[in-house]
Each structure stands twice: as C-alpha cells, then as structure tokens.
Structure 1
Amino acid sequence: AAAKKGDLAAAEQWFAEAVTARITPNQVTYNSIVDAAAKSRNISAAERWFEHLTQAGVEPGGSLYCAVANAAGKSGDLPATEHWIQRALDAGVPASQALFICGVSAAVVTANLSAAEEWYSRALAANAEIDCHFYNNLLVAAAKSQNLSVAERWFRDAREANVELDLAYGIMIHVAAKCGDAEAAESWLWAKQEAGYGGLDKVALTSLVDVYAKKGDLPAAERWFERGVEAGVAT
C-alpha cells in the first residue's frame, strides 16, 4: 500500500520489518520499493535499491529495469534515464513503449522538446507499440515548449495510429492556448466536438478563458465563461 501511494519511507520501513521477521525479499518486493521511489521522483533511491537487489542475488527482471528508468524519467534526469533504458536493452529487456515512455517523461519534466522527439523516433524505429498515453505525453512536452506545430504533427500521428484521442483533444486546446493562439484553441474545441468527444469541459474552458484574458480580450473571456456557466462546467 505504501508503494502504491509513493510513500518511500513507509515502503522502506515495511521492507526492514519484513527482513527482521525473516521474510525473504523477492523481485516483487524490490519492484514495490523501486515503484515507490519512482512515484516520489527519487532516482538515487531507485538505483540504490536496484543494486541492493543484485547484491542479494535476486535476478532483476524487465519490470524492475523499467521501474528504475521510470524513476529517472519522473525525476527529469535525462542522462540517468538514457543510462537505465540502455542498461535494460543490454540486459535483453524488449524494446517497448514501457521503456521509451520513460525518456519522454524526462523530456516533459525538463520541457526538452528535442529529447521528446528523439525518444519518439527511437520508439518508432524499434517498432514499439505506441498507445494514447505515449502520444499524450508527447503533446504535453509540446505544450511545455509552447510549440503548436509540433503538437499538431504528433496529433496527426496519433490519429493515424488509431489510438484513443479523448485526452489528446483537450491537450491540443491547452497547447494552442499556451501559445496564445485563441483561434486555434477554439478550432480544436470544435474538432473535439465533431469527433464525438464531447463539448466544453472545465479544462477547455480554463484554457479558452485564460488565452483571451492574456490577450486582453476581456469580452471574449467573459463570453466563454458564460458559456461555461450554461454548460454547467464553470465554477
């Protein structure tokens, strides 16, 4: 339970108590602690527990390599993420989305669009199956870098890959708003509606009100807020 919540201290305490009770730790045990380290964005702890596992004679599986790479990715440590992904591949772990998305996560944290592009290219080159979660992370990276054209290209790729686009439309509205393109933000909202993913929601409303407010167009911002009230999504 502690690991699922990302409570590293509690997970480590549980591990110590298990050892005291002479319960032999296995790969699942170590995976849980490394997962807790990942959720708390503590790459040093994840690496320390990985080495602890190998020294204890437990053979690390692919899920453990992914967990450490995930910890590196969530902490935004690009070199460490690269290191652990490569280490996983060298150990025979299949080249998969689970690995490459760790690199995208690091790119998102650091707002490094070129790194996101690189990991996307590597995933494609490895013929890794890429799902909506992967594409959504790419779009978030584009949002942080305020690059609408790249986001639009990745959205087209996602659509061609026939993945679920519900969240992707919302992210595109956000990207356009972050870039100060109110017209594009509105266009993405209409596209979302036409695609059958619903109309105005809280996320889209916030983006549209913000983009117009920042442009100094208060009447438009108020108009969108009123639409939000009518739609029952304004608070």
Structure 2
Amino acid sequence: MQGLFSNFKIQINENIYLKDPESSKLGKKIIDHSILLIDEIGFEHFTFKKLADKIGSTESSIYRYFENKHQLLVYLTDWYWSWMEYKLVFNTHNMSNPSSKLELALEIVTMAPEKDENFSHINEVVLGSIVISEFSKSYLTKEVDQENKEGYFATFKRLVGRVAQFITEVNPQYPHPRSLVSTVIQGALHQQYSKAHLPSLTDFNDNKELVDFYKQLVLTQINA
C-alpha cells in the first residue's frame, strides 16, 4: 500500500506563490525555516527580513517566491491541509465500512500531527502548531472573497467535502454534513490552542480525549 503513494507530491495552488518553493533548494529552505521562525516568534512579529537573516539570504530573494507574508502563511496552511488530505486518502482508500472510515477520518483531522518522514524538509509537528495558532489569520481578511475565487482555500474545502461525504455514507439523510465537519475541524484547532495556552477554556488533557469527544459528538449528531 505504501508504494501506491510513494511518489506523491503535495500540490499547492500556483496562485498562492510567485515561484514554486519546491523547485529549488532555497525555496525549500524558505519554507522549512519560515515554519520554525513563525513558531518561535509568532506571525505578527515574523518578517521576511528576519527570515532572510535566519537563512543567510536576502529579503529580495524571498520576495521572488512570495508577494508578502500573508501569501506565505496561506501557502503553509494549504500545505498542511493538503498533507491532511493525503493522510485521509492514504488511510481510508481500502476501507469499506462507512462508520469505521468516518471515525478514522475524524481522528486524522482532529488529532495533533506527528512527524511524517515522507516529507523531509517540512516539520509537520511544528507546522501543525502554526495552523492551530494562525490558520484563521489566513482567511479572516478583507481579501478573502477574491482569494477564495482564486482557489486559495480549495484544499481545505475539499478536505471538508471528503469527510462530509463519509458522513453522508453513514447517514444519507443527515442535512448538514459540511457544516458539521468544518465546525469540528476548526473547533478542534481552538481546543488544541486552549489546551496549550488557555486551559480553563477546555476539559481536555490529552489528544485522545479530544479526538474521542469529536467522534462521539459527530456520531451522536448524525444518528440522532
């Protein structure tokens, strides 16, 4: 089964970048170190100048790849959701039981990420913490409608659609599968953030508790 996806390459909407970072060593270095730097200092304090100093390059070289840091954040979050989609397809493509498939899908999209050796230049664990903290900043902007038309958020929407389809397979009569899935995924991000920073806003102490909560929530809702 591993061979089926051994040559898989995550594809990012080309409207998001000026030059594909995957096309050069510098581009991969920009992505790798931007993840580490954003995690270290936060997106608000992150600048291309600081990134250039970190990688021993120039601001102008980074601007050849991305128009601004918002575009870079959209790239990173799109990469993350593409990776989630890859994991979802890889792990469920051979499953026939709709309920089991849905439970595994919910586990994948709500659990804090682990390192994936298939993508050596990306630290998925650190990227996951960035998505938990910063994902909403990628779309809560005045430009969201235009960026949506250009496909900036197509991967996330497709991921939601895949899990929603699993819900429909379990219960074809359930009327709100996409709303439920998007609520669960974004709610899980907020709960992960609260667990790390605002613990009085959550009852979860570990990832298993959180995942089990969302599984129970979804299955109870769609079978009510």
Q: TM-score, normalised by structure 2?
A: 0.29
More relative contact order, 1 or 2 (CA 8 Å, 6+ apart): 2
Length-normalised TM-score, structure 1: 0.28
More helix by share: 1
